[in-house]
Structure 1
């Protein structure tokens, strides 16, 4: 059997904060998930996104340590229209998210912005211009 890409896993130091961030971006995450040690949702198309607390990861990998020197993963959200990149970016900042790159017209033909989730992972917002 050929392996099939199925899940993106994020390790979080603040599960409720991380889930709240991704809920604001439109992911349908059950409200009772905040107290769980592992949470996963199935995205349109069948790919799954999961969150594990640092304690969960260390329960089977005691030497696990977070990466140093910045995020090593970025999740990207298609906002549909260029104006929506600006609107979503502003809404997320107003809700307490950390901005990394303010919306701009990228040379590759997209309106683009980058937020950081509560664990410092890059979250790209984009739309074709």
Structure 2
């Protein structure tokens, strides 16, 4: 069986969060979605479970952090600098926040961080390992 990751994120507005992630290039898997959760697919191995507050609380008693906190930053490899820029623009146009941190441009690696409508941090990046300076 292929190893997969399911990232669970609490969200305040499930339909708005689904629309946000669809605008970034995720697709919905209705087989694992209902009125309390949506499975948003990035790749065969990476899935994001968007959970309403009540659904989230069925998994843990820990509090949902406010949108201004940073509980984790999730990095996604992209095909080019242009796709990094496009994801950041899509985030800003669909209820998220682009460039929440300074743009990282190391020549061989380029990244721009964004936040979804609930403050979850994503770091789309492009890297050319062949252009990396020697260690």
CA contact (8 A) 1:85 1:103 kept: no
Aligned mates of 1:110, 1:53 — CA distance in 2: 35
Instruction: Output the aligned Cα RMSD.
Output: 2.9
Aligned mates of 1:46, 1:87 — CA distance in 2: 22
Aligned mates of 2:9, 2:94 — CA distance in 1: 21
Aligned mates of 2:49, 2:127 — CA distance in 1: 28
Which runs of 4 or more aligned residues in structure 1 lie more than 4 Å from their structure 2 counterparts after TM superposition? none
With over 3 angstroms needed to count, the CA separation of the structure-2 counterparts of 1:87 and 1:7, relative to structure 1, is: closer
Aligned mates of 2:106, 2:88 — CA distance in 1: 16
**What TM-score, normalized by structure 2, do the two folds share?**
0.71
Q: Does 1:119 align with 2:118?
A: yes
With over 3 angstroms needed to count, the CA separation of the structure-2 counterparts of 1:103 and 1:92, relative to structure 1, is: same
What is the count of residue pairs matched by the alignment? 123
Match of 2:38 in 1: 39
Match of 2:90 in 1: 91
Aligned mates of 2:87, 2:46 — CA distance in 1: 23
SS in 1 for 2:89: helix
